Chains A and B, each alone.
Chain A
Amino acid sequence: MLIKIMRSVLAVVAAGFALPACAALNVFACEPEWAALAQEIGGDKLSVYSAINAFQDPHHVQAKPSLLAQARKADLAICTGAQLEIGWLPILQQQTGNPKIQSGQAGFFEAAQFVRKLDVPASTDRSQGDVHPGGNPHIQTDPRNIGLVAAALAQRLAQIDAPNAGYYQASYARFAERWHAAIAGWEKQAQPLRGMKIVGHHKAFSYLENWLDLQLVATLEPRPGIEPTSKHLAEVLELLQRRPAAAIVRAPYNDARGSEWLAERAQIPALVLPFTVGGSERAKDLFGLFDDTVQRLLAVLK
Chain B
Amino acid sequence: MKTISHIMPALALALPAAACAADDAELRALREEMARIRASFEQRIDMLERKLAQAEAQAGSAGTPDAPPQASTAVPNPSATSNAFNPDVSLILSASYGATRRDPDTYRITGFHLPAANLDEARPARGFSLAESELSFSANVDHLFYGQLNLSIHPDDSVATEEAFVHTSALAHGLTLKAGRYFSGLGYLNEQHAHTWDFADMPLAYQVFLGGQFNNDGLQLRWLAPTETYLELGAELGRGANYPGSGSKGNGAGAGVLYAHLGGDVGMSSSWRAGLSYLSTRPQNRNWGDTDRSSQAVTNRFSGRSRLWIVDAVWKWAPNGNATRTNFKLQGEYLRRTEKGDVSYDVDGASLGPATDLYSALQTGWYLQGVYQFAPYWRLGLRTERLHNGAVDYAANNAALLRPDYSPARNSFMIDYNPSEFSRVRLQLAQDKSRQGLSNNTLILQYQMSLGAHGAHKF
Contact = CB atoms under 8 A, between A and B. Distances in A.
B270 to A, nearest CB: 10
Contacts of A151: 48, 72
Interface residues of B, number: 84
B230 A165 contact: no
A57 B457 contact: no
Contacts of A86: 454, 456
A192 interface: no
Contact of A55 (B143, B232, B320, B422): B320
Given A55-B320, A88-B456, A225-B421, A66 B37 contact: no
A259 B358 CA distance: 71
A243 interface: no
A200 to B, nearest CB: 16
A267 interface: no
B171 interface: yes
B62 interface: no
A300 interface: no
B33 A166 contact: yes
B195 interface: no
B68 A21 contact: no
B75 A114 contact: yes
B271 A21 contact: no
Contacts of B420: 126, 129-130, 225-226
B21 A163 contact: yes
B454 A52 contact: no
Interface stretch (A32-40, A141-149, A288-296): A141-149
- Central interface residue in B171, B320, B459, by most chain A CB within 10 Å: B459
A interface secondary structure, majority: helix
A55 B323 CA distance: 10
Contact of B69 (A53, A64, A118, A169): A118
B263 A64 contact: yes
B223 A97 contact: yes
A60 to B, nearest CB: 6
B322 interface: yes
Interface string A130-167: 10001000000010110010011000001001110110
Contacts of B454: 83, 86-87
Interface stretch (B8-16, B91-99, B278-286): B8-16
Interface stretch (A207-215, A231-239, A268-276): A207-215
Interface of A: 7, 10-11, 13-15, 17-22, 52-53, 55-57, 60, 62-66, 68-69, 72-73, 83, 86-91, 93-99, 102-104, 113-118, 126, 129-130, 134, 142, 144-145, 148, 151-152, 158, 161-163, 165-166, 169, 173, 207, 210-211, 213, 225-227, 253, 255
15 contacts: A18-B13, A20-B16, A22-B20, A56-B320, A68-B230, A68-B459, A69-B230, A90-B456, A94-B176, A97-B174, A97-B176, A116-B75, A225-B421, A255-B324, A255-B325
Given A97-B171, A126-B451, 13 more contacts: A13-B13, A22-B19, A55-B321, A66-B271, A69-B229, A87-B454, A96-B224, A114-B71, A115-B69, A116-B69, A118-B69, A158-B41, A166-B37
